[in-house]
Amino acid sequence: MAILLLTIGFGPTLLIVAFMGIGYVIGKWRDGHLDINAWVGFFTKGR
């Protein structure tokens, strides 16, 4: 990631990392390994 940051800059690197993250989440969802209720519970636990 540091090589991308140094060669193409911050904006394009951020875009590539965002697409990679979205692809990872979609892949987990399609495989059935994404538990949305656990994520919501994790982020709302303190409230």
pLDDT at 21: 94
Measured CA angle at 47 (ends 18, 17), to 5 deg: 5
Residue type, 12: P
pLDDT at 17: 94
Measured CA angle at 33 (ends 31, 37), to 5 deg: 130
This model's pTM is above 0.85: no
pLDDT at 23: 95
Give the model confidence (pLDDT) of 1-47 as tens digits. 788 888 999 999 999 999 999 999 999 989 988 888 888 888 898 65
The answer to whether residues 28 and 34 touch, using CB atoms and an 8 Å cutoff, is: yes
pLDDT at 46: 61
Look-up: residue for tokens 């994520």? 39
The token duo for 30 is 């399609």
